[in-house]
Structure 1
Amino acid sequence: MAERKLLAGHAIRRLRRGAGLTQAAMAEMLSISPSYLNLVERNQRPISATLLIKLAESFDFDPRTLAAAEPGGGSEAIRRRLAHPMFADLAIDRNEVEEWLASAPGGAEAFARVFDRMGEGDGAIAPSDDPVALVRREIERWRNHFADLDAAAEALADELRLGAGDLYGAITERLRAKHGITIRVLPADVLPDTLRRLDLHARQLQLSEVLDPASRTFAVAFQLGQIEAQAEVDALAKAAGFTDRAAERLYRRHLLSYFAAAVMMPYARFLRGCEATGYDIELLQRRFGAGFEQVAHRLTTLQRVGARGLPFFMIRIDRAGQASKRYPGASGAALVEAEGRCPLWQLHHAFDRPGDLVVQLVEMEDGARWLTMARTVRPQGRRFGAVRAEFAIGLGVEAALARGLVAASGIDLTGAAMPIGIGCRGCFRADCPQRSAAPAGRALIVNERERRISALTFVGD
């Protein structure tokens, strides 16, 4: 897959101004023309690898911060925010967003921060300090790819492989021999409402017997990450600058989960496996000893510079349509961020076919086409007679990039696709038989002399 262009003119401009340099002076330092630097700062030219190296050598900074510091998470993230129904009548297109980011990056970042700290209530905007929303914004800022964690996990996984072929056994032995922590699997009656618990007094990690092998491996890898990836996690948590303690703890838990998954599915080996199998999720599960949800999440993280995977998004919903996980990754998919979801998207149909992979080609109002996959999962921890939780995991990738996927076999990716939206309040498709509400900001039209396909027609329909 071709490398994505790195447009970070705002960061270069900030770097130049911080050093007190004019464009001419900085261009001379970098051995480029002032006109080229001007184009870079205006996001009309991507940053080349050569220029990136010169910047790093001349100004002593980490090049990865260029990608992580895009105002509001970049143009796609800003567009997802602008997809909110309250902006429906403005018709802001992609070019306007790009111009805004290029000319006023500070204003775009300010908009993003204000929007993310507000919640919707009774048609008005009300303050919100939701820790989950704050953490999601920070994860999105990094596009759910944490290079330092990946590198540390990959080195650790390689070291563990040298000692034993069984990853669970290798981690268990490392925890015992190096950190003095033993593993004990306890009956469900002893841990009735708990899956994993660290007893510091006994130096013992206690696991419930209800956990399957993949979940046990994840649990011990998570514990090892708390010890051996502490420096990387501390640095990322400090850089996030959370003032809310709950948000910081949620973020740390996400980072440790990321590390655990990266130990189970080391980046280079996992990417090779994806490309060799056509991103066959079931085969990847067996090859890496992971669960469906673990593999699905890992697919959203493959953004290593020079070795990128396909830009998948992931979302997890319950039967009521409530989203408990959203990872747009580098996909820029509005499907993930939208509060509403279209019932014509077969993400919801996965509940009717438990365990089956439901594949669908969909097309958004702006013409974007996605190959989506959905499957149900049941979290660990259920005992007989207990409430049984069930979720649907949705995955998606741009249709134009999906030709090599096994899930795309037999599908004409340029052919007919299901027209969907981001929920009725944010969708302006006319005559949709599934419509349950008029778009936000559009007045209803009631005509007693005719009945159209949709019972709800609106101004502009």
Structure 2
Amino acid sequence: MVEQSSVLGGAALRRIRRREGLTQAAMADRLDISPSYLNLLERNRRPISARLMVSLAEAFDFDPRDLRQEEQVGGIDGLRRRLADERFADLQIDREDVVEWLSAAPQAAVAFARLFDAGAAGGGSADQSPAIEVRREIERWRNHFADLDHAAEALADELRLSTSDLFAALSTRLREKHQLSVRIVPGEVIPGLVRRLDFHARQLQLSEMLPPHSRTFQLALEMAQLEARELLASLSEAGEFSSDQARALYRRHLAGYYAAAVMMPYGRFLRACEATRYDFAILERRFGVGFEQLAHRLTTLQRVGQRGLPFFMLRVDRAGQFSKRYVGASEADFLEGEGSCPLWRLHHAFENGGRLATQHVAVQQVDGRETRWLTFSKRVERGSAGGDRPGEFVVGLGIAARLAESLAGARGLALADEGAERIGPACVRCPREDCLQRSLPPHGRTLRFERHTAPTTPFPLADSPV
């Protein structure tokens, strides 16, 4: 199979040829290539070269962006995520099916993705949830924004020349370049807020309730608004959103991405990850960050030629609801849907006293595959700005078990198949028949009740999917 990083355009070539009413021989003649080579191109057996793209543009007024229509659905992983919905559970669509669909009929795939996204949001495009739209856009970029990383890295290197204390360096830059002083104030001074910019006093006020790493993040966030304003605007305007709310929410994510990249500059951070074997405790101390900040950053390491390991990250509350979910390049499509498996120890971390919990899991997927992951989870608090009780969450990190053997966190663990604990996706998508924890029957399966027997499972299933 051709590597998916190559530019395959068989479907686009066929559309052009049919639009022009040409045979393969006639089109090949206009492009100055052989008919047999054009046949291979149309069947996605060969990638389209840069020279041929130029010839297509000149001969047929062709837009090269048509070759990247799969990016509109988030590529293979984006389409697989949608097809993992419980409504398609009985179809057993695998990765190769998705690859063939995108190669053969990318426009149909885009149409399906638009309809699915509109339905997931509860209506047409005008009614889409801003959070869902933003998540789709982040996934399209795989949560890696190269321009933001380079800009933040340049700023971090410049700040490092003055002092190794990033909070002090940011404070100095805000004062000297932007005439803004930084002041830590009691929570009641800025009720309901963690940060406030007082233009009249030329003062950036931070709540005293913030821990040190959050104070630094807030300064870096303000720096994003001041020094990366044009870049943030360009990226947010390029996104396809149905409302200003979604665009504003996306811009906030981008600003936070920039701030985290200032605290953990790409090159320095990746080198530290590799040198410490991704030792989370060391990385937190070395870069002065919290576990949630670190977890998010680990999902972004996708720079071309300088990639980190593909982690996923999520944040869950006591009710099992996801308030953050970044799959990145991990292909962890079992995180789709509402909620997750109660057998996952991630949900037990609320009672773990803030200690890091590790679990090797085997996830039975909707299509019958079983994938293995090493997951880490830790309870975190989001401090309140006033006297209210802080919010409680668990932040989870995960990586494919086959990539985890060298991690510091995997030391002493047996990552063989038999050592994994079996879990599934959310109950309505989970194909496991013998789970006593199940709260709902799997979608697309027939329940079977017999008069003279009482099974141990709450939802006895017929022998085969319908």
- Normalising by structure 2, report the TM-score: 0.87
Q: 2:448 aligns with which of 442, 445, 448?
A: 445
Could you tell me whether the CA contact under 8 Å between 1:84 and 1:426 is conserved in 2?
Answer: yes
Letter of the 2:117 counterpart: D
Deviation, structure 1 residue 407: 1.4
Are residues 1:396 and 2:395 paired? no
Q: Secondary structure at the match of 2:142?
A: coil
Specify the alignment match of 1:341 in structure 2.
340
Specify the alignment match of 2:370 in structure 1.
367
Specify the alignment match of 1:182 in structure 2.
181
CA distance in 2, matches of 1:33, 1:393: 56
Q: List per-residue Cα deviations over 1:281-312 (Å, max 9, x = no partner).
A: 11101000111100000000000000000111
Are residues 1:411 and 2:413 paired? yes
After superposition, where does 1:229-268 map in structure 2 within 5 Å?
229-268=228-267
Are residues 1:105 and 2:72 paired? no
CA distance in 1, matches of 2:46, 2:169: 48
Deviation, structure 1 residue 104: 0.7
Deviation, structure 1 residue 335: 2.8
Q: Say how many residue pairs are matched.
A: 448
Specify the alignment match of 2:430 in structure 1.
427
Specify the alignment match of 2:159 in structure 1.
160
Q: Secondary structure at the match of 2:417?
A: coil
Deviation, structure 1 residue 56: 10
CA distance in 2, matches of 1:457, 1:387: 43
Specify the alignment match of 2:61 in structure 1.
none
Specify the alignment match of 1:141 in structure 2.
140
Structure with max Cα Rg: 2
Are residues 1:456 and 2:459 paired? yes
Deviation, structure 1 residue 279: 0.9
Letter of the 1:245 counterpart: D
Instruction: Tell me how large the CA RMSD over aligned residues is.
Output: 3.4
After superposition, where does 1:45-444 map in structure 2 within 5 Å?
70-119=71-120, 128-365=127-364, 366-381=369-384, 386-416=388-418, 417-444=420-447
Larger displacement relative to structure 2 (406-415 or 214-223)? 406-415
Q: Secondary structure at the match of 1:390?
A: strand
Could you tell me whether the CA contact under 8 Å between 2:76 and 2:99 is conserved in 1?
Answer: yes
Deviation, structure 1 residue 433: 1.6
Deviation, structure 1 residue 429: 1.0
CA distance in 2, matches of 1:173, 1:231: 22
Deviation, structure 1 residue 69: 5.4
CA distance in 2, matches of 1:44, 1:390: 52
Letter of the 1:395 counterpart: L
Letter of the 1:289 counterpart: G
Q: Secondary structure at the match of 2:157?
A: helix
Q: List per-residue Cα deviations over 1:203-231 (Å, max 9, x = no partner).
A: 22111111111111110111011111112
CA distance in 1, matches of 2:438, 2:107: 38
Deviation, structure 1 residue 84: 1.1
Moved segments of 4+, more than 3 Å: 10-14, 20-28, 32-47, 51-59, 63-69, 124-128
Q: List per-residue Cα deviations over 1:128-150 (Å, max 9, x = no partner).
A: 41000000000000000000000
Letter of the 2:149 counterpart: D
Deviation, structure 1 residue 434: 1.3
Letter of the 2:376 counterpart: M
Could you tell me whether the CA contact under 8 Å between 1:346 and 1:360 is conserved in 2?
Answer: yes
Could you tell me whether the CA contact under 8 Å between 1:71 and 1:105 is conserved in 2?
Answer: no
Could you tell me whether the CA contact under 8 Å between 1:88 and 1:426 is conserved in 2?
Answer: yes
CA distance in 1, matches of 2:35, 2:253: 43
Q: List per-residue Cα deviations over 1:287-341 (Å, max 9, x = no partner).
A: 0011110000000000000000011111111010011011010111113323231
Specify the alignment match of 2:60 in structure 1.
none
Change (3 A) 1:383 1:194: closer
Letter of the 2:145 counterpart: F
CA distance in 2, matches of 1:408, 1:25: 58
Letter of the 1:369 counterpart: R
Deviation, structure 1 residue 7: 4.4
Letter of the 1:399 counterpart: A
Letter of the 1:258 counterpart: Y
Letter of the 2:85 counterpart: H
Q: Secondary structure at the match of 2:370?
A: coil
- Normalising by structure 1, report the TM-score: 0.88
Deviation, structure 1 residue 70: 2.2
Listed as ranges, the gaps of 5+ residues in structure 2 are 58-63
CA distance in 1, matches of 2:55, 2:280: 41
Report % sequence identity.
52
Listed as ranges, the gaps of 5+ residues in structure 1 are none
Larger displacement relative to structure 2 (109-118 or 272-281)? 109-118
Deviation, structure 1 residue 66: 8.1
